[in-house]
Structure 1
Amino acid sequence: MMSEEVREIQSSETTEENSLDRVEKLWNKNFFLLWQGQLVSCFGDAIYEIALGFWVLAVTGSSALMGTIMAITMIPRIIISPFAGVLIDRANRKVIILLSDFIRGAAIILVGVAIYKGAGAVWMVMLAGILLGICSAFFGPSISSVMPDIVPKSRLLQANSSYQMSTTGANLVGTMSGGAIFAILGAPIMFILNGFSYLFSGFMELFLKVPKVIHKKEKANFKEDFIDGLSFSVKFSGLRNIIVLACVINFFSQVGIVLIMPYFNSTPGLDAKKYGIAMGIFTLGMICGMMFLSVVKIAPKKKFNIFVLSGIVSMGAMVAAPITENIYAICILLYIAGLLNAILNTLLNTTTQLIVPQEMRGKVFALMGTCTQALSPIGMIVGGVLGGILGSKQVIVGSFSATIIFIAFFAFMKSAKKVINYDPEHETLEDIM
């Protein structure tokens, strides 16, 4: 049963948000500022990663060191995220968002200037990577926590779709143009440009109006607050099932995705160039899926069926793609997989935002991020090992087939269906817990 505190939070939020739904539209000032800032910073991130890779290889000649730097960025995020979630729910979320962007911007600009002047060193890039990871641990859950407070809940699915579409599109454009920009400007200038993209995003966020988290009871100490968030996630069966599903999908997907490049490299008629085209088509499919959700409003009672169908068909397309060994068929299947995968992930994220009370969102999203991110490198390692033993095609087919089985099993969970189909305009959390 739901506690009195959670019931009070839900009642308060429902009253306020139903009022907002009558007077606010999706593209309000707050959402536009956030969307615009992230559009620029995601483009900066994309060209930064390319510049970073080329610079490290030029300075050290070591691809292993490049992987180490990427891991250094990921590890702090995994370790810190659960504790960051507690701070997000206890502190001013706008301040956290601003500091995350400004610190990242300043760190990358300083490294870029140092490299430009010939004083740059690998340890500086590593230190910046650690700072980026720490800031990301706070920034991501903060954005997920804030989104339901700056757009009407009836438009939350469209908001997430529009937000993810802009970031994915910016990343795609940055990745495609990064090589040409590197040839013209070089790594130091690209570093500095990415730093300014964060500062621009932070400047836009200065004008955000982020509601304060409403605590219906006196704040517990840090430890008790952390345990409360963990307990809420575990005892809420529908939410717990969603977190488990997200982890399983992410793990098995990483097992298969890490082997797509070796598959293209080892299959007659396929090569690195066709791999780049296929991955571009997959990303295009994701953007189209997000575009679809950004303009089409799905009735709450239909969301679960669309969720399950999208998951099964998208994973089925990933199973079929390597079997065909035909680049045209592979591209069509990857486009379908990307489109439906975007729908699956957006519904998953939006559902979590809808069912988690305001004062729990930071903790819950941080917990989800920790679980999925921690499983990613494990999935890559497992995929690499199995690929060497069984072959890339076999492991790709097996990993995505396993995901289909799990999604099909998920489809029979009544608690999952109630949660995915949750309609905040006509239901309370007590109805689905």
Structure 2
Amino acid sequence: MENTSEPKKRLWSMNFFLLWQGQLVSTLGDSIYEIALTFWILYETGSPGLMGALLATSLLPKVLISPFAGVIVDRTDRRKMILLMDFIRGVCILFVGIAAIFGFLEIWMAFVAGIILGVCAAFFNPAVTSTIPDIVPISQLVQASANLSMLRAIAQIIGPSSGGVLYHLVGPPILFLCNGISYMISFVLTFFMKIPKSTSQDQQYNFWQDMKDGFSYIWKMKGLRDLIVLAGFLNFFATISIVLLAPMFKNSESLGEVRYGIAMAIFTLGMLAGMVFTSVIRIKPDNKSMVLTVSGLLAGIVFSTAVMMNNFVVMAILLFIGGIFNALVNVLIESTVQLTVIQEMRGKVSSIKGTLTMGLAPLAMFIGGLLGEFFPIKTIVFSGFMAMTVLFIPLFFLKSFKSFIQYNPEQQKIGA
């Protein structure tokens, strides 16, 4: 089931190091770009509803294409796919930056750029995800997932905390340009990677059959199916809350853009602490289900409490704590999927999982933005996080879910 064409003795091989560096640079650029784009839209339109609609439109192509992209990823050279997607995104965002610098950037251009980024991400994400188990030892897969999540956390600490300040100091055009450059740096680093060939790459290609196989594979594994459904609903309610955080901070005299960036950085610092924990402390398989469920439950409670705080310091402390629990949930979900899915199905499963978990996100963004036009934004954000809390309660009683999360590759076979 596993491709063993290349020795895998240690976690920090040259391949993993190059992947880590490339992802760090591009993710840092993305985090700054996200801050710049969000507030650029809010200041240009003044409408949280239009902001939500724009973000939803940007995400929709990724959602629709992801299942098809996974099938293609499993049948193509993953290194070339990663390179191509980085190059296209780099050119696209460089154009956005140049357009902004020379004063001809329009809202519709941001729509088009968002669509292009979404399409590229639909191919890029499963290519990277399916590559990780082939360039690191299976015994260190959780640590690898934690380290990659950690770099995203580092980028989200530096990006938002500096993004709000840089937005006022240099303006969005320069920030857009920096993101385009970051993709090009990632492209250069990936060029030197060596990724083992997928065992399904040489097999006969049948697109629709592969799609069917991917859905069938997920459907037959009840634990995997339940995990993906859970992730989908969690993402839906989280997105409703998250999409309204920027306008919530912008409309508050005691908060504002700079504190929004600081708050997001502190939350991500908490995530980083959680990633460090999972990268150095091995969570025993028998404890994974309890850690996942309790962490998710506490994350929802802490986030709900944080947004109701009038004291920014207290809010920041709660966001840090919530970030720790959120990191534990993310790492355990991702590593469980990687451990339980065979190599030739990883791309398909990763894409389908991405589609099903993210499929409701555009709707959530639109609903969140629309609700923000008519109801108190803080109340909506609180309700979304509380809904996340409720979703974790049934997991204490689902034996099939517990057994799936606690899968041990050293004692069990996949599907056992």
TM-score range, shorter chain: 0.7 to 0.9
Aligned to 2:404: 419
**Superposed, which structure 2 residues align to 1:33-432 within 5 Å?**
33-52=18-37, 69-116=54-101, 122-182=107-167, 185-215=170-200, 218-258=203-243, 271-272=255-256, 277-322=262-307, 325-383=310-368, 395-431=380-416
Using the TM superposition, give the Cα deviation of residue 312 of structure 1 relative to its aligned residue in structure 2, in angstroms. Answer: 1.5
Partner Cα separation in structure 1 for residue 357 and residue 295 of structure 2: 20
Partner Cα separation in structure 2 for residue 409 and residue 428 of structure 1: 27
Using the TM superposition, give the Cα deviation of residue 181 of structure 1 relative to its aligned residue in structure 2, in angstroms. Answer: 3.9
Using the TM superposition, give the Cα deviation of residue 208 of structure 1 relative to its aligned residue in structure 2, in angstroms. Answer: 1.4
- Structure 1 residues 55, 322: closer, same or farther in 2, change over 3 A? closer
Using the TM superposition, give the Cα deviation of residue 289 of structure 1 relative to its aligned residue in structure 2, in angstroms. Answer: 0.9
Using the TM superposition, give the Cα deviation of residue 77 of structure 1 relative to its aligned residue in structure 2, in angstroms. Answer: 0.8
- Structure 1 residues 346, 150: closer, same or farther in 2, change over 3 A? same
Stretch moving more, 119-128 or 220-229? 119-128
Partner Cα separation in structure 2 for residue 212 and residue 30 of structure 1: 14
Give the aligned CA root-mean-square deviation in angstroms.
3.2
Stretch moving more, 163-172 or 95-104? 163-172
Partner Cα separation in structure 2 for residue 110 and residue 336 of structure 1: 39
- Structure 1 residues 216, 188: closer, same or farther in 2, change over 3 A? closer
Stretch moving more, 108-117 or 86-95? 108-117
- Structure 1 residues 118, 27: closer, same or farther in 2, change over 3 A? same
Partner Cα separation in structure 1 for residue 391 and residue 45 of structure 2: 42
Alpha carbons 2:53, 2:366 under 8 Å: kept? no
Partner Cα separation in structure 2 for residue 340 and residue 282 of structure 1: 11
- 1:373-412: per-residue Cα shift (whole Å, max 9, x none)? 2212333444566677775565555444443333121232
Partner Cα separation in structure 1 for residue 311 and residue 54 of structure 2: 36
Partner Cα separation in structure 1 for residue 368 and residue 397 of structure 2: 29
Amino acid at match of 1:143: V
- 1:313-351: per-residue Cα shift (whole Å, max 9, x none)? 212222433566544443332221111111101110111
- 1:49-102: per-residue Cα shift (whole Å, max 9, x none)? 3444566678x6665766555344212111111111111111111111110001
Amino acid at match of 1:309: V
Alpha carbons 2:232, 2:357 under 8 Å: kept? yes
Amino acid at match of 2:161: M
Partner Cα separation in structure 2 for residue 104 and residue 177 of structure 1: 22
Using the TM superposition, give the Cα deviation of residue 422 of structure 1 relative to its aligned residue in structure 2, in angstroms. Answer: 1.4
Amino acid at match of 2:410: E
Using the TM superposition, give the Cα deviation of residue 123 of structure 1 relative to its aligned residue in structure 2, in angstroms. Answer: 4.7
- 1:226-261: per-residue Cα shift (whole Å, max 9, x none)? 111111111211100110110121122233444556
TM-score between both structures, scaled by the size of structure 1: 0.84
Alignment partner of 2:360: what SS? helix
Stretch moving more, 174-183 or 101-110? 174-183
Amino acid at match of 2:191: L
Partner Cα separation in structure 1 for residue 65 and residue 266 of structure 2: 34
- Structure 1 residues 334, 132: closer, same or farther in 2, change over 3 A? same
- Structure 1 residues 212, 385: closer, same or farther in 2, change over 3 A? same
- Structure 1 residues 122, 409: closer, same or farther in 2, change over 3 A? closer
- 1:338-372: per-residue Cα shift (whole Å, max 9, x none)? 11111101110111111111111111111121122
- Structure 1 residues 364, 48: closer, same or farther in 2, change over 3 A? same
The sequence identity of aligned pairs, in percent, is 44
Aligned to 2:14: 29
Alpha carbons 2:62, 2:121 under 8 Å: kept? yes
Stretch moving more, 122-131 or 242-251? 122-131
- Structure 1 residues 375, 124: closer, same or farther in 2, change over 3 A? closer
Amino acid at match of 1:177: S
TM-score between both structures, scaled by the size of structure 2: 0.87
Alpha carbons 2:145, 2:331 under 8 Å: kept? yes
Partner Cα separation in structure 2 for residue 395 and residue 125 of structure 1: 27
Aligned to 1:4: none
Amino acid at match of 1:81: S
Partner Cα separation in structure 1 for residue 221 and residue 289 of structure 2: 18
Alignment partner of 1:430: what SS? coil
